[in-house]
A and B are shown apart, each in its own frame.
Chain A
């Protein structure tokens, strides 16, 4: 954890004076990811209720399902940030690689009758191949052109899926996964905990891969590309290859996420192919904090939770009593998330993950100002 590898946005780098003051505390807090992981691992055994946050005990199948979704999207956002926050690539087509994992795996199981494991391998390979192929093409243009090309490819994929060629994709309805091809331990409401653990494993894997990749020599080039692509060229490196690595790696992680999502939701739905799906990933990343280690995950979890729970909350007594001016917008999670997103762009550049640090900086005015936070005039 040297500043050379993660000079920006890591919540743990700066604040040396704070470290001096609260050394033991800092040492203790260093282990919070491990502690959190332990808590998450045993969560299915917990009957503890989290009033407001969840409906009923944590370990109930419904809540485990929601938590697993939160973890999957936390991981997806982390993978997407490999492009946005680490390499500076604004892709509007990430949904395509996610959907490739879901749809190819599901379709192979349904049409070719292969077992899940073999289908998943094919689904993953399809995602990798698609990302490599389309990434190689899309990256020939830069800036907003790249964003538009990725959007176009993803939209083409989305149209294809929704038109249901040959009845393979199921069109607007999507298709349920065939229960007889899946391992018995992954099917049914009694086995939600297994799915939850798979989602958790996926999240840990993505965090580890992204962490490792960003610290690798390639990761340093990515950072250079994000800062100033021309300077990287002047060093005699070709940004194209490095950007393609980031694109394929992010696409691979997304395809894997698509497979986990298939297990979790028991089917493939065309909503996951739309540009809105990619845009929601974008919102998660920016909401949490692009370019930071934990920010995208936090954003993904927050977004998914809010998307599923705010609607329920709006129907609850507390909100139902409010006047229509407040109640109506509150009943739409996407409205709240969109508004929150815009607010974060303005008020909290760097995302929610920066919040504690900002509060700390506000409390101790002598703290070294965060270089990155100084807004351009």
Chain B
């Protein structure tokens, strides 16, 4: 009960804090893969400004939520982008409305060169691609333009993935665990870039590294067992040890010690199913 009251209070605070209507409104998002319900109804708002973090324990359904929003898995419910219902749209049609996506496994085409990876993200008719911005943020990508992306380090591959979202004048950037498996120095760099991107484009960030969340996210939503368990300001959740432990399964305080690597997925968890799907 306490949790509910808490959540409601947070939502109210959220509503007060954001004057502008949310950019992305997700209501009752359900995903069924292979006859199994993975999402039972996720509600989520992405604020029109700044970063909104999508949190939850391993296997809670965060990645499936993102894939559901994008239409990469069959889904029902409502996904409104700037007021327009998109749940019936094919993935590419939604993306062309101005969504940049950096997936969990980075989605870099290993056999293609860095330049080709970027070129693939260009959208004909969406204006001049912002190579200036990309090369300013990631000068390395210019020098490695002809290198096969598969030979890059994990951090460099993540840069390619993020660069692809920055190339177009997107209205929304979705980044799924962009710091996963990266060295601390690279994590800081990725966070810096996302912070800068979020100044102009709202970001939906799936993240396990709570230090990064604390630094970037203004709002957050927590998924548990395929449902939205909490919505509100990110700082409010992170500063509440009880709520953090209950919702995220982490002790408060030392987010820096949060391991980046996931524990091995348990059989039958959502992670597993996502891999199959």
List the interface of chain A (C-beta within 8 A of B): 228, 230, 234, 376-377
- A234 contacts B34, CB within 8 Å? no
B74 in the interface, Cβ–Cβ < 8 Å?
yes
Q: Which of A230, A234, A376, A377 contacts B276 (CB 8 A)?
A: A230
> Could you pull out 6 A-B pairs where Cβ atoms are within 8 angstroms?
A228-B34, A230-B276, A234-B267, A234-B268, A376-B74, A377-B74
List the interface of chain B (C-beta within 8 A of A): 34, 74, 267-268, 276
What residue of chain A has the Cβ atom nearest to residue B275's Cβ? A230
B268 proximity list for chain A (CB < 8 A): 234
A234 proximity list for chain B (CB < 8 A): 267-268
A377 proximity list for chain B (CB < 8 A): 74
Q: Could you tell me the dominant secondary structure of chain B's interface residues?
A: loop
In the bound assembly, the distance between CA atoms of A228 and B276 in angstroms comes to 10
What residue of chain B has the Cβ atom nearest to residue A377's Cβ? B74
In the bound assembly, the distance between CA atoms of A230 and B268 in angstroms comes to 10
In the bound assembly, the distance between CA atoms of A377 and B276 in angstroms comes to 18
What residue of chain B has the Cβ atom nearest to residue A230's Cβ? B276
B267 proximity list for chain A (CB < 8 A): 234
What residue of chain A has the Cβ atom nearest to residue B267's Cβ? A234
Report the minimal beta-carbon distance from B265 to chain A, rounded to whole angstroms: 12
Report the minimal beta-carbon distance from B51 to chain A, rounded to whole angstroms: 32
A230 proximity list for chain B (CB < 8 A): 276
Report the minimal beta-carbon distance from B135 to chain A, rounded to whole angstroms: 41
In the bound assembly, the distance between CA atoms of A16 and B74 in angstroms comes to 31
In the bound assembly, the distance between CA atoms of A377 and B31 in angstroms comes to 12
A376 proximity list for chain B (CB < 8 A): 74
What residue of chain B has the Cβ atom nearest to residue A234's Cβ? B267
In the bound assembly, the distance between CA atoms of A376 and B35 in angstroms comes to 10
B34 proximity list for chain A (CB < 8 A): 228
Report the minimal beta-carbon distance from A330 to chain B, rounded to whole angstroms: 40
What residue of chain A has the Cβ atom nearest to residue B272's Cβ? A230
What residue of chain B has the Cβ atom nearest to residue A228's Cβ? B34
Report the minimal beta-carbon distance from B87 to chain A, rounded to whole angstroms: 11
In the bound assembly, the distance between CA atoms of A230 and B267 in angstroms comes to 10
Report the minimal beta-carbon distance from B170 to chain A, rounded to whole angstroms: 27
